[in-house]
Structure 1
Amino acid sequence: MSMRVKEVAELVGISLRTLHHYDEIGLLAPDETTDAGYRLYSDANLETLQQILFFKELDFPLKKIKEIMSSPVFDREKAMELHRKLLMEKRSRIDAMIATIEKTVRHARGEIQMTNKEKFEGFDFSRTPYEQEARERWGDEAVDEANAKVGGLSKDKQQEISDEMNAIYFKLATLRGGSPESEEAQVAIKEWYDFLNQMGSYSPEAFKALGQMYVDDERFTANIDQFGEGLAVFMRDAMAVYADKSKN
């Protein structure tokens, strides 16, 4: 049964302007428009909207959402599985911060004592759990330079970078069932190469070596494969192809 745009807005709890914007940018076009100009949304449109809002909840920018969902290899069921994992991880962080708030209130009332470590449980600003590994491989200067770049950015900009990183991982995860040599895979892996070079300086050789480390180091593999089993291997292969072509 078709629904008018106003009905969809009321059902979902978003504004008419938002739905109009999604239509204008080609993210969510209703299946039908009446002669009078009314937008009519099908059940399939509502499923697409649900998917978009899951991405939005995870802070993906609209441009990236459109890229991911318009991919011919986009798999809605696999995307839902990944959404679930990421949202559960987000919930765990939020639960930890709520617990810290509750403890802090009780501490302020004199009901309990908190250690300095307990005061900051749940906060995670790094998103880079392998800094020591990076220092051992590339030296303090390279890591300090990268940290200085990130540290000099505003919190909003740091969040934007984090969101962009997750969006690229997600996009690559949707492609991992295909060939790492495909044009689409190579376009996506170039996005990863360009992203990394915003933070540091990677030659094609270093990029290829980094991809190999994604597989050789089980910590990297586990972290990357949260976005989809086999992603680390796929990225390694795609990075190797990109690096070899870049040298030619």
Structure 2
Amino acid sequence: MRLTVSETAKLTNISVRTLHYYDEIGLLKPTDTTEAGYRYYDEEALAVLQQILLYRELDFPLKEIKDMLSKPDYDRQEALAAHKSLLLLKIERLRRLTGLVDSMMRGENTMSFQEFDMHEIEEAKKKYAKEAKERWGDTEAYCESEKKTSGYGEEKWKALNEEMSDIFREFAECAQAGETPEGSRAAGLVERWRSHITENYYECTLEILEGLGKMYVGDGRFKENIDQFGEHTAEFMSRAIESYCKR
């Protein structure tokens, strides 16, 4: 799939001007721009646009959306799960409002205002945004990552995701082959993962690497994502990183 700006606007029901603005602020870059200035979007770009529109549906500011999408560890499945939870809260609120309207249409004297309460939704949104900011917010690593990745196009992101998957897959194969986390093969994979982060996102110091290793098993979402490549892969990777950092 390769769509022009006009075709993308028509498909997604957003304006050409909005797409141009997203490009200007670095939120959504076209997959390709010709010498004549024509912008084109492929399926990967449209998938990113879906994420943006979901965040907008939940009233997230564009700056926060950009920050979250540019996280080195950004996981679409994790984000979609969060989106779903927030949308379900909105659905429940609308269900309560519909029930209130039905009662009023029946002539019932219902002086209830709790159906209008947005507190739960707002708190869930704040928690989600706060978690993203705390993880990568204004740290030196985050700033370096944002600067480095600002010019990445869709092909670059695709290549990075494929390389990341290859590394995780090799960790899984290493674990399944009966290798030890303290062994040379595991250490080589940790070094490869560390280099991948440093070359493409930010300088991955031993301190940062050690923190990432703990997060891979301490945060259920990271663990679930890594374990998709093989059972106990996250634990193996975490132990391999711990051993590597102690050398």
Q: Which TM-score applies when normalising by structure 1?
A: 0.51
- Name the structure 2 match of 1:114: 109
One-letter amino acid of the structure 2 residue matched with residue 85 of structure 1: S
- Name the structure 1 match of 2:149: none
> Judging changes above 3 Å, is the alpha-carbon distance between structure 1 residues 166 and 62 closer, same or farther for their aligned structure 2 residues?
farther
> Judging changes above 3 Å, is the alpha-carbon distance between structure 1 residues 61 and 166 closer, same or farther for their aligned structure 2 residues?
farther
**Cα offset, 1:18, TM superposition:** 0.6
Q: Tell whether 2:30 aligns with 1:35.
A: no
The answer as to whether partners of 1:60 and 1:163 remain within 8 angstroms in 2 is no
> Judging changes above 3 Å, is the alpha-carbon distance between structure 1 residues 94 and 229 closer, same or farther for their aligned structure 2 residues?
farther
- Name the structure 2 match of 1:92: 92
Q: Tell whether 2:161 aligns with 1:168.
A: no
Question: Matched residues in 2 for 1:91 and 1:127: separation?
Answer: 12
- Name the structure 2 match of 1:123: 116
The answer as to whether partners of 2:97 and 2:116 remain within 8 angstroms in 1 is yes
Give the fraction of aligned pairs with identical amino acids, expressed as a percent: 40
The answer as to whether partners of 1:60 and 1:167 remain within 8 angstroms in 2 is no
> Judging changes above 3 Å, is the alpha-carbon distance between structure 1 residues 166 and 15 closer, same or farther for their aligned structure 2 residues?
farther
Question: Matched residues in 1 for 2:140 and 2:36: separation?
Answer: 42
**Cα offset, 1:98, TM superposition:** 1.6
* SS of corresponding position for 1:122: helix
**Cα offset, 1:2, TM superposition:** 1.0
1:191-202 equivalences under 5 Å are none
One-letter amino acid of the structure 2 residue matched with residue 114 of structure 1: N
Moved over 2 A (4+): 113-116, 125-128, 162-170, 182-185, 228-231
- Name the structure 2 match of 1:6: 6
> Judging changes above 3 Å, is the alpha-carbon distance between structure 1 residues 165 and 123 closer, same or farther for their aligned structure 2 residues?
same
Please report the RMSD computed on the Cα atoms of aligned residues, expressed in angstroms: 3.2
The answer as to whether partners of 1:97 and 1:121 remain within 8 angstroms in 2 is no
1:63-102 equivalences under 5 Å are 63-102=63-102
One-letter amino acid of the structure 2 residue matched with residue 169 of structure 1: K
Residue deviations 1:38-65, cap 9 Å, x none? 1000111000000000100011000000
Unaligned runs of 5+ in 2: 143-218, 223-247
Residue deviations 1:186-235, cap 9 Å, x none? xxxxxxxxxxxxxxxxxxxxxxxxxxxxxxxxxxxxxxxxxx8589xxxx
**Cα offset, 1:94, TM superposition:** 1.1
Q: How many residues end up aligned between the 2 structures?
A: 146
> Judging changes above 3 Å, is the alpha-carbon distance between structure 1 residues 184 and 91 closer, same or farther for their aligned structure 2 residues?
farther
**Cα offset, 1:183, TM superposition:** 5.4
